[in-house]
Amino acid sequence: MRSPKKLAIATTIVALAIALSACTTGDETEPAATGDATTEVSAEAQAALDTAFEGIGGGLDDLAPAAPEAGLNFYVMSCGESNATCAAPAAAMKDAAETAGWNATIVDGKLSPEGFATAIRQAVAGGADVLVPVGISCSAAAAAFGEAKDAGVTIVGGGGLDDCDPQVWDSERLWLADPPVPTPFHGIGKLQADYTFGKTNGDPQTLVINLTSNPWGQLVTDAYTAELETLGGGEVVTVVDVADTESADGSYIQKVTSALLANPDINSLVVPTDAYLVNGLAAAIDQAGLSDKVITVGGFGSEAALDMIRAGQPGITATVGQAQTWEAWGSVDTAIRVLAGEEPAFIGQSLQVVDADNNLPDSGPYDGSIDWKSKFLESWGK
């Protein structure tokens, strides 16, 4: 039996395809594909592409030893197990915590503030010594985080920001000592802009999906806009706000594809997380006849998104790989150091644009550019 969500997605795709065909006639000539290989790329566009593929990041050469305390109860709160870019880092954190000698459990935030709060309270009730929230900031569940803190749980960031006032978490996860942009979320937006600028030969006309349920979504959007201004070309034609509830029920698909069809000048789409593309948007873009006209760039470099790129699936062009497994282990490393009364370390994970011809691993998710795992294991004495 088909689920209501899948049926809704299929219905949306058919409706959009009909809408598109109604706007064209057999006498019209299809425009050339965006980023056509026959088009000569300017020096500025090529430089932007080179920047996108080189990416941002650092190593772990100065990682000091930090022995984990044995036998602790570690809980990781996934922002939503139905979302690939929540589930993958949550699983990686569980693996890292177990490697450190801890008892590890995943609780599911189910892509809603109520779900986040319930999952945090499950962790507290389960006797959590350490809690890492994946993909959400403190303000998304401020009361529940406060309760966990009052219960003596050590809270370490798993990708979000401690934007509570006053701050509640024991530490955010630290990235680079001297980053070129403030956070990895800014890095995603910046590299997406570099890529779309290069692929459109300096003239991206972009639809930006803005994730509204967490503060980091706006950081990606703002960084994309700022980088286009720095590059001196293109513009954000429209911004489509999407909340986690719309992601959960699939309603964002019609919202985004309708906006694409209403703006025929759009030649690029940037998405803060691969999950939107994996969970139906890429297929809808293809079925609506837009995959050859719109460069589509995701975020995080999930295995599912990279499998789509490897297979040449229309509707997804590239993604910004964020080495989610690397940073997941970095959250556990942060917890180890905080519990030992030490300063957290900069974990240094890399970000790079990945497409069919650049930085694409043979299999699995984007995993960074160094053997980071051996460095963590050596530091932990494992």
CATH number of domain containing 343: 3.40.50.2300
Nearest to 323 by CA among 109, 173, 211: 173
Provide the pLDDT for residue 374. 95
Higher pLDDT, 7 or 284: 284
Residue 206 domain-assigned (yes or no): no
* Range in 8-17, 90-99, 145-154 with the lowest mean pLDDT: 8-17
pLDDT (tens digit per residue) in 172-226: 999 999 999 999 999 999 999 999 999 999 999 999 999 998 889 999 999 999 9
pLDDT tier at 39, thresholds 50, 70, 90: low
Cβ atoms of 137 and 215 within 8 Å: the answer is yes
**Which residues form the domain of 85?**
73-177+324-350
Does the pLDDT of residue 240 top 80, yes or no? yes
Query: What is the residue whose two structure tokens read 């690939």?
Result: 84
- Mean pLDDT, the chain, as a whole number? 90
Residue 110 domain-assigned (yes or no): yes
pLDDT (tens digit per residue) in 65-80: 999 999 999 999 999 9
Query: What is the residue whose two structure tokens read 């699995």?
Result: 364
Higher pLDDT, 280 or 7: 280
Both ends of the chain: CA-CA distance in Å?
Answer: 47
Provide the pLDDT for residue 61. 83
Contacts of 2 (CB under 8 A, 6+ apart): 10
Residue 337 domain-assigned (yes or no): yes
3-state secondary structure 51-76: HHHHCECCCCCCCCCCCCCCCCEEEE
Structural domains in the chain (count):
1
Q: Tell me the mean pLDDT in the region 162-166.
A: 95
Query: What is the residue whose two structure tokens read 């569940």?
Result: 141
Residue 328 domain-assigned (yes or no): yes
Cβ atoms of 252 and 285 within 8 Å: the answer is no
Residue 114 domain-assigned (yes or no): yes
Residue 260 domain-assigned (yes or no): no
Cβ atoms of 269 and 209 within 8 Å: the answer is yes
Cis (ω within 30 of 0) for the bond into 166? yes
Radius of gyration of the chain (CA): 21
Residue 163 domain-assigned (yes or no): yes
- The Cα 23–Cα 329 span in angstroms is 50
**Which tokens hold the place of 299?**
């975020």
pLDDT tier at 30, thresholds 50, 70, 90: very low
Provide the pLDDT for residue 22. 38
Phi, psi of 357 (to 5 degrees): -115, 0
The length of the chain is: 382
Residue 155 domain-assigned (yes or no): yes
